[in-house]
Amino acid sequence: MSTEARLEEVVKKISLRWASNKMLEPRIAKVVVNIGVGSSGERLEKAAKLLEQLTGQKPSLRRAKRTIREFGVRRGEPIAVMVTLRGSRAYEFLNRVLTAVGGRIKYSSFDDYGNVSLGIKEHIVLPGMKYDPDIGIFGMDVTVKLERPGYRVMRRRRCRSRIPRRHRVSRDEAVAFFITRLGVKVV
């Protein structure tokens, strides 16, 4: 059986399971957008400005965890900017990213816990973005975290508890979500 036929069969089976119980259907918890520059200074400020234009949120700085002499990076030096998007902003940005990559995601981009990561080589491929010589061209990493209703139990302050394995989002369920809800082709 080919991989496409197997995926189609799995998606059909999972969709029936979701229809039987709405609490099993995953949703997008957050979309994290990261631009790694590798050094602080003017280039990092331009990346932060670009990320704010793209997402409409103020980005936060990420610092180097250790010193790497070959790259000229010192521990504690800001080297990247990132933004976490939730709710409607996450869906809007994800739709722009998916149109930029042609509505196709590799199966290997999905991990075992329902997360999806993809990269964009140039930000100008996003719809509505034009080249600005003052900013330049930046690539970015986009990570999507899927979760089911009930994950708050793991994060809340009072009566915190673990989420059992059967309630976590699997790779096949993440693939099914992207195919059915977002119209993505998984290759």
Domains in the chain (CATH in brackets) are 25-148 (3.30.1440.10)
pLDDT over 80 (residue 99)? yes
Both tokens assigned to 156 = 């809340």
SS3 94: helix
**Cβ–Cβ under 8 Å, residues 93 and 85:** yes
Q: Is the dihedral of CA 49, 52, 57, 60 positive or negative?
A: negative
Residue-wise DSSP of 41-75: SHHHHHHHHHHHHHHSS--EEEE-SS-BGGGTB-T
Lowest-pLDDT choice from 3-12, 116-125, 173-182: 3-12
Q: What pTM does this model have?
A: 0.89
Residue 22 CB contacts under 8 Å (≥ 6 apart), including other chains: none
pLDDT at 71: 81
Q: How confident is the model at residue 1 (pLDDT cuts 50, 70, 90)?
A: low
- The string of pLDDT tens digits covering residues 155-165 is 999 999 999 99
